Homo-oligomer: A and B are copies of this chain.
Amino acid sequence: MKPNIKNIAVLTSGGDAPGMNACIRAVVRTGIYNGINMFGVLQGYQGLITNNIIPMDARSVSNIIHLGGTVLKTARCLEFKTDEGMDLAYENLKLHQIDALVVIGGDGTFTGARRFAQRHQINVIAIPGTIDNDLYGSDFTLGYDTAINTVIEAIDKIRDTADSHDRLFFVEVMGRDSGCIALRSAIACGAEAVLLPERATSLDELIKQLEAGAATKKSSSIVIVSEGHKQGGAYDIAKHVKEKFNHYDTKVTILGHLQRGGSPSSFDRILGSRLGYAAVNELLKGNTQQMVGLRGNDIKLTSLDEALTEHSFKLESDLLEMTKVLSI
């Protein structure tokens, strides 16, 4: 049975990610193409509560596909975790006669969306938008590809100067609970070693790897450190290594928030477009409390229940194995 959906709103929530604007554009235009009135909610769930909701036409999303960040802004919102907050949000949606919601964000965003849809009469589709790639149900989350490209461009520059035998570069990348960015970046820039939150690589092990590299006359050594590593950040680890190897000149780069920004890669623009297009089409088919994600080359649905309870180890273990072989 086709639902009678006439008005749809879209919002971005949580940390921003490159590709969110391409996704917003696709949501808005797919809706309009199908005769739906489209709305944008500013500053995530906060904007639902404060009624910061604006109508959007096809031109309102012109010339944004290539921009980093999100034109709808994002904010953390504790109030939406309360029943009172959700009720306020729902009242505002009613004011605009909004029947359905597309939310773009990460784990926290999905949790909020599920609780909201369970409490109130509103259809919700969620889109995985986070650079960390730490969501179940999509092989790649929106922003992940761009973030890796940002990291490797930075490391390519470091490699230019990494030409003496006794230099060690430590580069800290994002991913508090997920080593996805670290692992793919390590492969793509040919790093000598990578420290992941999911793996308890001891410093002794790291030092052994670096010694092996020195023995085969590597002209430089770059170590990627995921910010969530148990032995500390890049500074701490560099300090420990330096203590054991004081002839090494250790240098540290902390990439920080620059990994969240930048013009999205073609991959993320296309992924964002496909996910936004699919989200609206799924709402129009009557689906709700689902996420749309990329599986292989196809866009597939996963229920929010499944997405939020599955915590399978997402790190690609075959790639991890390959790293060892290719960094000889």
A interface residue numbers (CB < 8 A to B): 15-16, 18, 22, 25-26, 29-30, 32-33, 58-59, 62-63, 65-70, 73-75, 139, 145, 148-164, 169, 184-185, 187-190, 216-220, 251-263, 265-267, 269-270, 273-274, 277, 295-297, 319, 322, 325-326, 328
| Contact A266/B188 with A75-B164, A254-B254 known, Cβ cut-off 8 Å | yes
Check A256/B266 contact, CB under 8 A, given A25-B190, A139-B297, A163-B69. Answer: no
In the bound complex, how far is the Cα of B219 from the Cα of A291, in angstroms?
A: 32
Chain B residues, Cβ within 8 Å of A328: 29, 32-33, 58
Q: What are 29 residue pairs bridging A and B, where the CB atoms are less than 8 Å apart in the complex?
A: A25-B190, A30-B326, A32-B328, A59-B219, A63-B159, A65-B188, A68-B161, A69-B161, A74-B163, A74-B164, A149-B265, A151-B266, A155-B258, A156-B261, A156-B263, A157-B260, A157-B261, A158-B257, A159-B261, A161-B261, A184-B266, A187-B269, A188-B266, A188-B269, A267-B267, A270-B319, A273-B322, A273-B326, A277-B326
Residue with the highest number of chain B CB atoms closer than 10 Å, among A75, A162, A322: A322
- Pair B277/A216 contact, Cβ less than 8 Å: no
Q: How far is the CA of A270 from the CA of B181 in the complex (A)?
A: 12
A35 shortest CB reach to chain B, Å = 12
Complex: how many Å from CA A62 to CA B189?
Answer: 11
Q: How far is the CB of A101 from chain B (nearest CB, A)?
A: 20
B contact residues around A156 at 8 Å (CB): 66, 261-263
